Amino acid sequence: KAGVTQTPRYLIKTRGQQVTLSCSPISGHRSVSWYQQTPGQGLQFLFEYFSETQRNKGNFPGRFSGRQFSNSRSEMNVSTLELGDSALYLCASSSSRLEGQYFGPGTRLTVT
């Protein structure tokens, strides 16, 4: 079974721009969660989607948004990028909401 894939793997953007990251979950998994990982704050939960519906959201500003498609693939969008948004963005999928999550390799976003 193929693992969780994320594209692109690396991205460099300028302050004020917006970015869209993509995640393809493991086949059959309907739950997709997104996390931000930084050296200072560690791993922080962004949001979870299950069957195309956002089920919960972490403590992030409205500039961070996401969606899930009918095939369970998910995208997250960050608008009006700030330097502090530089991080590794991880996507995780599971068949049972937040339990038994499999992570992708992440997208390394650098904001200059």
Partner 1 sequence: GENVEQHPSTLSVQEGDSAVIKCTYSDSASNYFPWYKQELGKGPQLIIDIRSNVGEKKDQRIAVTLNKTAKHFSLHITETQPEDSAVYFCAGNSGGGADGLTFGKGTHLIIQP
By three-state DSSP, how is residue 24 classified?
strand
Residue with Cβ nearer partner 1 (62 or 99): 99
* Contact present, 59 and 42 (Cβ < 8 Å): no
Say whether residue 60 binds partner 1 (CB under 8 A). Answer: no
SS (H, E, C) 58-81: CCCCCCEEEEECCCCCEEEEECCC
Binding mask 61-100 for partner 1 (x = CB under 8 A): -----------------------------x-x----xxxx
Binding mask 13-52 for partner 1 (x = CB under 8 A): --------------------x--------xxxx-xx----
Q: What is the radius of gyration, based on Cα positions, of the chain?
A: 13
